[in-house]
Amino acid sequence: MRRLVLLAPLALTLAGCGLKPLYGGGAGGAVATTLSNVEVAPIDGKSGWLMSNALRDRLAANGTPQYRLDVRLDDKIAGFGVRRDDSVTRERRTLRARYQLVNLADGSVLIDATAGSDAGIDVVQSEYATIAAENTALERLAGIVADQIVGRLALYAQRRKAP
């Protein structure tokens, strides 16, 4: 009985913390509805193709779009581990995205932000293995950056619909 009395105030403080689920309301909620009304503008290059697909998968657009997501990517690979013979042993692949959410009704920019991530790559004797590792890193980075972008769009949608 003493434990119950001691835990009751704790339960009350947790109930009043003010946290609300981001995707409250499920598929019919404000966030899911807003995200499904976003079209992804074409993005150039291989990294752009991967990013477009990752964003489309996460946004699940349907119906007539109300917003357009414009994304510009900066994809770089830099060597930073060097042997005595000046050969690179480690690379860092960096994918940065500058994105804008544009309201199609009036052309206003609702969000203008950046997202990005890095991945380390071991450079091995086999050129094929190194290229495969670079491509795999790009695929992972596209997914990570797409998650960051969609998360930011979801926060915008939640705050916009808040009373």
- Say if residues 38 and 62 touch (Cβ distance below 8 Å): no
State which amino acid sits at residue 140: R
- Average pLDDT of every residue of the chain: 86
Model pLDDT, residue 163: 45
- Taking 60 as the threshold, does the pLDDT of residue 162 lie above it? no
Give domain limits for the chain.
23-161
- Taking 70 as the threshold, does the pLDDT of residue 53 lie above it? yes
What architecture is the 23-161 domain classified under in CATH? 2-Layer Sandwich (3.30)
- Say if residues 133 and 119 touch (Cβ distance below 8 Å): no
d(CA 37, CA 69): 10
- What is the pLDDT averaged over residues 29-36? 81
Rounded (10°) CA dihedral 6, 11, 16, 21: 160
- Taking 90 as the threshold, does the pLDDT of residue 6 lie above it? no
- Res. 27 pLDDT band, cuts 50 70 90: low
> Which two tokens mark 59?
């946004």
H or E segment to which residue 119 belongs? strand 109-122
